[in-house]
Amino acid sequence: MAEPKTGELMEKIVSLCKRRGLIFQSSEIYGGLNGFWDYGPLGAELKRNIKEHWWRSMTQLRDDVVGLDASIIMHPKIWEASGHTSTFSDLMVDCLLTKKRFRADQIEPQSGMAYFYTGATDSGSGRASKDAFSVLIATGKHADYARKVARQFYQQRGLENPSLEGERTEAQANTTRYNPENGSLLTEPRPFNLMLKTYVGPVESADNISYLRPETAQAIFVQFKSALEVSRQRVPFGICQVGKAFRNEINPRNFTFRSREFEQMELEFFIRPDEVVQKMCGAVAGLSDCPPGALVPQPNWGWELWHKYWVEQRIQWYESIGLGRDTLVEYWQKKEELAHYAKATVDILYKFPFGTQELEGVAARGDFDLTQHQKFSGKSMEYFDEEAKAKYVPHVIEPSAGVDRLTLALICNAYCEDQAPDEKGNLETRVVMRFHPRIAPIKVAVFPLLKNKPELVKKAREVRELLRPHMTVFYDEAGAIGRRYRRQDEAGTPFGVTIDFDTLGEQNAARQDTVTLRDRDTMKQERVKIADLVPLLREKIQ
């Protein structure tokens, strides 16, 4: 089949998300709220499976990582210490005509002819405006367009019928000073803090301002000492957290990709500073000492190898839920792109239909955060390392992933159209969500072949009850069996179990208590004993 174009593909995915209850616009009946999304019945299961799989892999299956579940609103000083109050901002620009706000770095460079005006007068009322204005129009476009836009600008300043003054033109190449939607001049870029503010307590005053956390990471840093003490961990070790974060994004876009409320899955992994490793081991192993094959942590590892190790761990984790390496890009940020606290950052990007974009950042943050909190709180963040016989502030490697972005990536990755025979054997287009069984919202669907045969229905319900304690099961008896398969293909259910007359042993006693097990992707069916279903399916979904 011909591949759908990227815009078309995204439209199909968004429409399927709504139709099948994966993702809904938040507050839809009131017209929606830009940058906020709700997950429907299938989406809620999918997201849960992602978070649970991450949590299990990051903490429960490791000895060296513990979990945390911190509050969303924390002491405002935390955000001063972390630098969010002063620096967590994007440069924004406003359209002088429509007041629409854009992120300055998202304005596409444009070329054309700019028309400048020094002001305008209105002969009827005698009013005048001395506000300068400018409009960019594409080369070859008539000057009247620029004049029309300029007149609108002065009309907004109270001039009913403005005569434009001081018109002059100048060719522009690759400028980002104009609104690409209407050519109007934009304001100068200015910083806009992305933290969402609220007030804690009954008084709305500057003293009571608090913020909804813009990342889950800072709670981990401020609880570093407490978590360390109670868990009896030793450096190197990590603390991880899954939870909501909020950013007042200027331009939420690309469906759920850039939202104002989203969830993060973050690990702060604390390691020895290189100087301590040097003293303890005599030398620090770095990237040039990277052994071939799988990386296994060693006491002589410096931050570079720990960083590489976590990048590799994270990519392997993505593979384990069906995002192959060919769908991902490992992008090493250039020096000039690094955040002020980072020694190195690798962005793990996914090839979305709308472009290759970040899923996760793996940053080597040095001791920036713990040192800042030590300074601002006056509480020591030092750790005494018995093995190294040294006291130090640990350094940090931070793999930080977005749950919603990953959910969207998995939906895009799963979406597939192929050909399948209909009831009469004619080929028709089938939409199938090829979710990895580990994260699929529903693991298995159970169907009685016919709903008007009580023995089939009874047996099918028994099978549902057998499977239910072990996995999410969907029972469906409505409509032709082929239609029921299609519905589950679209929901991404990897397995279908059909109870037919053979199950009842009516035609062949040897087949009694067997069912057909259908594979969503190959559409192949095999005959399986009911007694074998649980172990067989559990193996496939774990």
**Which residues contact ligand GAP by CB under 6 A?**
215, 217, 247, 249, 258-259, 262, 264, 266, 358-361, 400-402, 404-405
For residue 181, how many other CB atoms are within 10 A of its CB? 11
The SS3 call for residue 537 is helix
Query: What minimum distance in Å lies between the beta carbon of 261 and ligand GAP?
Result: 8
CA 173, distance to chain mean position in Å, is 35
Query: What minimum distance in Å lies between the beta carbon of 133 and ligand GAP?
Result: 33
The SS3 call for residue 333 is coil
Q: Residue 47: which residues within 8 A CB-CB, separation 6 or more? A: 39, 263, 403, 404, 407
- Asked whether the beta carbons of 137 and 183 are under 8 A apart, the reply is yes
| Residue 469 DSSP class | T
Query: What minimum distance in Å lies between the beta carbon of 66 and ligand GAP?
Result: 18
Q: In the structure encoding, which two tokens stand for residue 507, read together? A: 């035609």
Query: What minimum distance in Å lies between the beta carbon of 331 and ligand GAP?
Result: 11
Residue number with CB closer to ligand GAP (266 or 304): 266
Query: What minimum distance in Å lies between the beta carbon of 402 and ligand GAP?
Result: 2
- Asked whether the beta carbons of 338 and 358 are under 8 A apart, the reply is no
Q: Which of 294, 411, 311, 304 is nearest to 352 (CA)?
A: 411
Residue number with CB closer to ligand GAP (117 or 310): 310
524: left (phi over 0), alpha (psi -120 to 50) or beta: beta
Query: What minimum distance in Å lies between the beta carbon of 324 and ligand GAP?
Result: 19
| Residue 178 DSSP class | B
The SS3 call for residue 2 is coil
Q: In the structure encoding, which two tokens stand for residue 39, read together? A: 């997950």
Query: What minimum distance in Å lies between the beta carbon of 200 and ligand GAP?
Result: 23
Residue number with CB closer to ligand GAP (114 or 328): 328
Which residues is 267 bridged to in the sheet? 240
Residue number with CB closer to ligand GAP (342 or 523): 342
Residue number with CB closer to ligand GAP (258 or 373): 258
Residue number with CB closer to ligand GAP (405 or 459): 405
Residue number with CB closer to ligand GAP (37 or 178): 37
Residue number with CB closer to ligand GAP (92 or 276): 92
Query: What minimum distance in Å lies between the beta carbon of 370 and ligand GAP?
Result: 14
How would DSSP label each residue in 199-237? E-SS--SGGGEEEE-S-SHHHHHHTHHHHHHHHT--SSE
Residue number with CB closer to ligand GAP (92 or 460): 92
- Asked whether the beta carbons of 352 and 409 are under 8 A apart, the reply is yes
Report the distance separating Cα 286 and Cα 299, nearest Å: 12
Q: Which of 55, 60, 395 is nearest to 235 (CA)?
A: 395
Residue number with CB closer to ligand GAP (59 or 259): 259
Q: Kind of pairing, strands 395-402 and 37-39?
A: unpaired
The SS3 call for residue 453 is coil
Residue number with CB closer to ligand GAP (137 or 409): 409
Q: In sequence order, which ranges of 224-302 are alpha helices (DSSP H)? A: 224-231, 274-281
Query: What minimum distance in Å lies between the beta carbon of 68 and ligand GAP?
Result: 14
Query: What minimum distance in Å lies between the beta carbon of 357 and ligand GAP?
Result: 9
Query: What minimum distance in Å lies between the beta carbon of 224 and ligand GAP?
Result: 14
Task: Report CA Rg, the chain.
Answer: 29
Q: In degrees to the nearest 10, what's the CA dihedral of 294, 296, 300, 305?
A: 50
Q: Kind of pairing, strands 495-499 and 444-448?
A: parallel
Query: What minimum distance in Å lies between the beta carbon of 253 and ligand GAP?
Result: 10
Query: What minimum distance in Å lies between the beta carbon of 256 and ligand GAP?
Result: 7
Residue number with CB closer to ligand GAP (129 or 400): 400
Report the distance separating Cα 21 and Cα 38, nearest Å: 10
Report the distance separating Cα 172 and Cα 107, nearest Å: 15
Residue nearest to ligand GAP (CB): 402
| Residue 312 DSSP class | H
Amino acid at 179: N
Report the distance separating Cα 42 and Cα 474, nearest Å: 11
Residue number with CB closer to ligand GAP (115 or 257): 257
